[in-house]
Amino acid sequence: MRKVRLAAGFVLLSAGVEGASDLTIHLQGNGTVERKTVRYQCDASGAKMGLPSGAFGVEYLNGAGNHLAVVPVKGNSMVFVTVPSGSGAKYAAAEFTWWEGGGAVTFYSDFPGLKASSSCKVVK
């Protein structure tokens, strides 16, 4: 079993712990867990949707058949999980999708009344 520890500012209401800052996820499997952070800058539409207005980091966690992206949205760290896509890596959380491919990302929402999208690029 592999452990992944996220320092993410989650609110763990189901566990009865409010304002917790760490979350440990136990992943069954023998593979290693890969962890990397990539910095992005998104256009003005991203800030309107809740992404930081400046450059920000997204943490990618891959292991035991799981692929996660931790994205800062509306001042919180949201855990996005992979969903099927035709190309690139597509992650979803709540009403948002984070679709990464070729060094660029499209962040969007298709929910009625919340339809919007933002283009993001990798920054050093």
Q: How far apart are CA 117 and CA 119, in angstroms?
A: 7
Are 67 and 82 in contact, with CB atoms under 8 Å apart?
Answer: yes
pLDDT of 6: 47
pLDDT of 58: 97
pLDDT of 4: 53
Mean pLDDT value across residues 30-43 = 92
CATH code for residues 32-122: 2.40.128.200
pLDDT at residue 121 tops 60: yes
**Largest distance between two CA atoms of the chain:** 43
